Structure 1
């Protein structure tokens, strides 16, 4: 990896002035990329994709070397909005939970929820209570305001919602964003042929330019770089002419990555031009790892939807001028449930007790902070990538990461995989047998967490498994 920044070995973000020195609440801009992999940035090693604006953002703030999505896709967003891991809100996957060949599913999976229940106080609601004007732009994927369910952004604390509905991906990336007469996103007015990532950024710039009286929270949830692989033709042509990388070779995907990067740069420039950057926390994050086979998570094992690092490790950048020292790299373990308490505390609020996340701006800088455990729980099935073999990307499992160690527990056969990520980042050497004490330590801690969160565990045998009737 091509990090050239100051390395921080312990404890959260290095600050270069007292964190709460100013009286004004910070504006918050949170960009959520969709399916952007750990290696999909120039700074993390891509030899084909070009991301100069995101790379610059990292050089101006902090890059988190051990950042994770708390889940995959929709549940990752539910974890962000609630501050809770998946067992507490029940959004485990993109419905249904029984995906793939039913004759190969040994267990009956736990039923999935598609929406964040309205009894949760979402991050949008919590910031709204602190006086923030809250806008959601892009992919919501957790319900809708349009079908009577009242689970979309406007019912969950946001003052504005542009293009946010149940959709997991657009029918098309080009206006009118339709395919074979099917349309969604609610973007009724536009210019023929306009590109979705450009349009959403236009809307974001309009929003921030109007915010003068109150602090704002902009949740900019791009659909890019999720399929369908569509990008402006001029960019695709550029990458078709460019020499292929050793690992990354897809011109359409490369074009989508560059366009996303350009739009991140546009939004940063708009904040600078409006004089808002100095009092704005800017967050760049991805909802899960890179999706194979459209990209290659070459330094990590697996991809989107898998329990391995390629599926859950993601890029995370925080920029906060005057508060975060430029060029910082943070080694601490962080995950998606941490944003809720972090952002609410920065806004002057007091997070409710019982949240699963931690305030990553308020750590002790002690060695014990490195021993924090992260957890995942996925009691469902996810079919394999088409054309890549294997019935499933994921079967029911739970994960714990503690320090350098990671344990995956599989419910179908009660087996375990144990990896020392410091020595084995590609997760090739399963040490569950050779390190039984470490495996037991992590399994016991994982079991206690599952009990504490009242996690639903799949135990019922599937009568259709193996062709049985």
Structure 2
């Protein structure tokens, strides 16, 4: 009898081990690292989706995904065109820190119209900057880039384990084969639309990867060239225009993109990954003004009025971020790096970032946050159409200057003529009523923010006069 009791006692630890082992196999680990998917659409404007009010474009999958989390009505890109915005997102740093201000040359437009010599542009992101996939890769994540990269020749040199179609090119030569400047392994289907092929390869990655993974899904869509999805074209040609949105070819590209994001969400749910995945959705800059309008926002891509920098923006993560929630706090894509690291459980000094960790806002621990946001563009960017634009003048989408937003106030400052524009965005979201003369104290306060920030970031200021300038 005594021997039997001893046998039982000796077996208890084994029983406990077996019990908890079996239990852990059947119950998901609550503290496991989440998968992270960062969706960065190209050139999608603030109102180019249904959840932001469009009655022309049809985006049911994106709208449904947005309803599962928190959407931000004051979400911004840190620059108004592709490459600098993407550099800011990947580094978490303002443009003066990495020196990428535009795509290609900073002297765009006719020389005779440029009063100042613009600051020289950096075209490739320096490897001295540590970026999102590098840090996540060092902390147990498998990383995948899918679509447009635009910061160097090869994203695999910047911490990604897999690259689907990314290079230094900013847009495809064609969305139909042959894509020419976009190379994807196994792209043999001659009838496959590029956005569909990129998602097909992305789903293959998810099928075969072990968690946790980081996916940077950055399709070339909906950037030019505007190549319609042919089977959708008749529907939008018959659809009435809405609030400046009336391009049926572009609309088919938006709907096709939405379909592919629906496939991505379905795959996550099928593999039981959705509940443990942080999904972030945004765009790299405003919509292209000659193709789509963002009314009541002013102007579009390339401009630093709201239409060029305010983006559709939301976050989804079950049991962390409340569904059907909306937030008016101004945020920027600079905030994504520190936020992602927080949810990945990576400890890193916030002094490395110009953005903030948004988790206290996303999880409703705080309901306000007071800080200024800045934009710096010591360059020129020509207008597309001198007869159809909402820029400061018909020749340029951007002249050299800086912008600051603090609270409800936004100030534009221009280096050529010391011009100042001040707007109350609560009363005047369309930036039509310049209050600089009526509110000189507020304008001075905002200028002080800018001048302090210029010093802190060592922001280059163009001062040299262009000898070819014609008054």
Query: Same-fold call, TM > 0.5?
Result: yes
Cα-Cα RMSD: 1.5
Match of 2:347 among 326, 346, 350: 350
Shift of 1:348: 1.1
Q: Distance in 2 between matches of 1:454 and 1:126?
A: 26
Secondary structure at the aligned position of 1:445 is classed as: helix
Q: Is the 8 A contact 2:422 2:443 kept in 1?
A: yes
Partner of 1:444: 448
Q: Is the 8 A contact 2:386 2:395 kept in 1?
A: no
Partner of 1:172: 174
Q: Is the 8 A contact 1:307 1:399 kept in 2?
A: yes
Partner of 1:412: 416
Q: Distance in 2 between matches of 1:94 and 1:416?
A: 26
Q: Distance in 1 between matches of 2:120 and 2:256?
A: 37
Partner of 2:183: 185
Q: Indicate the structure with greater helix content.
A: 2
Residues 388/365 of structure 1: CA separation in 2 closer, same or farther (3 Å cut): farther
Q: Is the 8 A contact 2:187 2:197 kept in 1?
A: no
Match of 1:271 among 268, 271, 296: 268
Match of 2:206 among 201, 205, 208: 208
Shift of 1:259: 0.6
Match of 2:226 among 222, 226, 229: 229
Partner of 1:26: 34
Q: Distance in 2 between matches of 1:133 and 1:388?
A: 49
TM-score by length of 1: 0.90
Secondary structure at the aligned position of 1:268 is classed as: helix
Cα displacement string for residues 386-409 of structure 1 (whole angstroms, at most 9, x for unaligned residues): 353521110011111000000011
Stretches of structure 2 lacking an aligned partner (at least 5 in a row):
1-28, 389-393
Partner of 1:91: 100
Shift of 1:23: 1.4
Q: Is the 8 A contact 2:198 2:219 kept in 1?
A: yes
Shift of 1:43: 2.0
Partner of 1:388: 387
Partner of 2:135: 126
**1:462 maps onto 2:466 in alignment:** yes
Match of 2:241 among 222, 241, 244: 244
- The structure with more radius of gyration: 2
Cα displacement string for residues 450-469 of structure 1 (whole angstroms, at most 9, x for unaligned residues): 110011110111111018xx
Shift of 1:244: 2.8
**1:429 maps onto 2:447 in alignment:** no
Q: Distance in 2 between matches of 1:415 and 1:65?
A: 28
Q: Distance in 2 between matches of 1:308 and 1:246?
A: 18
Cα displacement string for residues 86-142 of structure 1 (whole angstroms, at most 9, x for unaligned residues): 000000111100000110000000000011101111111011111100000100000
Q: Distance in 2 between matches of 1:396 and 1:464?
A: 17
Q: Distance in 1 between matches of 2:234 and 2:201?
A: 27
Q: Once structures 1 and 2 are overlaid, which stretch shifts more, 266-275 or 229-238?
A: 229-238
Secondary structure at the aligned position of 1:278 is classed as: helix
Q: Distance in 1 between matches of 2:194 and 2:84?
A: 23
Q: Is the 8 A contact 1:176 1:187 kept in 2?
A: no
Stretches of structure 1 lacking an aligned partner (at least 5 in a row):
1-20, 145-151
Q: Which runs of structure 1 show a deviation greater than 6 angstroms over 4 or more consecutive aligned residues?
A: none
Q: Distance in 1 between matches of 2:342 and 2:465?
A: 45
Shift of 1:82: 0.6
Q: Distance in 2 between matches of 1:190 and 1:442?
A: 55
Partner of 1:372: 371
Q: Distance in 2 between matches of 1:267 and 1:354?
A: 32
Q: Is the 8 A contact 1:81 1:340 kept in 2?
A: yes
Q: Is the 8 A contact 1:417 1:432 kept in 2?
A: yes
Q: Is the 8 A contact 1:167 1:185 kept in 2?
A: no
TM-score by length of 2: 0.90
Q: How many residues align?
A: 434
Q: Distance in 1 between matches of 2:416 and 2:183?
A: 39
Partner of 1:149: none
Shift of 1:176: 2.0
Secondary structure at the aligned position of 1:409 is classed as: strand
Q: Distance in 1 between matches of 2:123 and 2:129?
A: 14
Q: Distance in 1 between matches of 2:141 and 2:97?
A: 26
Partner of 1:148: none
Match of 1:335 among 332, 355, 359: 332
Shift of 1:366: 4.9
Q: Is the 8 A contact 1:418 1:432 kept in 2?
A: yes
Shift of 1:153: 1.1
Partner of 1:137: 146
